[in-house]
Amino acid sequence: MSLRAFLSECEERGEILTIDEPLSPRYEIAAIIKALDGGPVLRFTNVEGHPGSTVVSNVCNRQRLLRALGVSEGSVEEAYKKLVEAAERPSKPRVVRSGPPAEEVIMEEPDLMKLPVLTYFKGDAGPYITSALVSARSSDGSVENVSVHRLLVLGEKKMVIRLVPRHLYRLWKMAAEENRDLGITISIGVHPAVLLAATTPVPFGVSEFSVASSLLGGLELVECEGVNARAPAHAEIIMEAFLRTGEMAPEGPLVDITGTHDAVREQPVVEVIRIMMRERALYHAILPSGVEHKLLMGFPREAEIWRAVSKVVPAVKAVNLTPGGCGWLHAVISIEKNVDGDAKNAILAALTAHPSLKHVVVVDTDIDIYDPEEVEWAIATRFQAGEDLVLVRGARGSTLDPSADQERATTTKMGLDATIPLDKDRRAFSRAEIPMSHKVEELLRRLKRA
């Protein structure tokens, strides 16, 4: 259930690229991550200004994410089912200790500047922690929330957090009403399944740690009594901090999932009171708008879309929140249909399941939804705008979309039914094939090796 164990498995598979050249945490490491985005796990062992620190990135691509969920590669439907079941039937994690163990290093005085926090893009406000797993509880301990947030480092002990009006925001407002600051833990370097659980939508009051426990078959936590919050026991770095209810600071700009800079907003200040870390801790850096960012944010939404569409059509093979659609705004859905109206019902169900969704393409199961050329071919040969287009005007959209109405958070949504009409001869919509003999197959193999 640790990041180290997961990376050990990746190393055995030859999926880790170690980079020993000295690189600056300001832009240089980010440039390498972006150039190799979605490829091997990257391990940077020579971070300028941070001797002994190791930065890891590109931990999750789609195949590794499926492995993190304990399913075989290609079994995306099984992964959706497992994620949905974990959200519906969470299991209680186990608290193994209070406070740090002896093998952890505790900074005498917390100093965020000693961590290899990266500055990613030109125009960013400064160095950002992008893989922060933030945990908080209500004052009586009855409600716990775990979510992933970005944190702009302001100094040795202070950061500012991007807090959207969801569950952590609600706990922060509750603390303000009680005239207190909100105690939190910030964990960096956790198993990918824990990050995925933290981005899975569950009702307020359901702890995402319990979802992670179901995904992993058990999760061990540490109790941080000074802040009334818990953290994964196997995290590489754990911070105890307070989310101030009476102190705000400008947050942003930072590149978000769309690859464009987000707006500057007044956001709550976080003050760190203690930092604990493992010996030679691994600092996990997630490239904003990179494959890892899109998957950790989007994969749970794919599962939600899969569940919703499965209720209105005979079968859903897979869902892809596409990289070109920012892993958030565009979906391609592969379905089996019984009647021609199934695809339109699938479109409406998908738009309802993921309110940020802007464009949906529904295709037959013979189309590879991860291949943009095949999806475009299906639109070119199986779609008629006069009959197969669904438009929804003035719907709630995503504030991440710069083309949407930012003040009202509304947008126009579109669905494309790119499936074969059932009353037509399928052969007219199928690609022609060339028979392949064993002799030709062997010749092609030799030519590709040459």
354 alpha carbon, distance to own chain's centre: 15
Query: DSSP letters of 195-249?
Result: HHHHTS---TT--HHHHHHHHHT--EEEEETTTTEEEETT-SEEEEEEEEEEEEE
pLDDT grade for 103, boundaries at 50, 70 and 90: low
CATH level 3 topology of 292-429? UbiD C-terminal domain-like (3.40.1670)
pLDDT digits (tens, 9 = 90+) for 150-179: 999 999 999 999 999 999 999 999 999 999
CATH (residue range 121-275): 2.30.110.10
Q: How many CB atoms lie within 10 A of CB 225?
A: 12
Is there a catalytic annotation at residue 423?
no
CA angle 264, 270, 274 (to 5 degrees): 150
**CB-count burial class (<10 Å; 0-12, 13-18, 19+) for 196:** buried
d(Cα 172, Cα 163) in Å, to the nearest integer? 9
What's the pLDDT score for residue 208? 98
Residue 102 has pLDDT above 60, yes or no: no
Q: Which of 181, 256, 342, 364 is catalytic?
A: 256
CA angle 68, 69, 74 (to 5 degrees): 95
What's the pLDDT score for residue 279? 87
Query: Across residues 234-254, what is the average pLDDT?
Result: 96
Dig out the tokens for 362 from the structure.
């529904």
| Residues 77-106 as b or e (16 or more Cβ within 10 Å = b) | bebbbbbbebbeebbebeeeeeebeeebee
**CB-count burial class (<10 Å; 0-12, 13-18, 19+) for 394:** exposed
40 alpha carbon, distance to own chain's centre: 17
- The ranges assigned to domains in the chain are 121-275, 292-429
pLDDT digits (tens, 9 = 90+) for 346-372: 999 999 999 999 999 999 999 999 999
Closest to 326 (Cα-Cα) out of 290, 375, 376: 290
- What is the rounded average pLDDT for all residues in the chain? 94
What's the pLDDT score for residue 135? 98
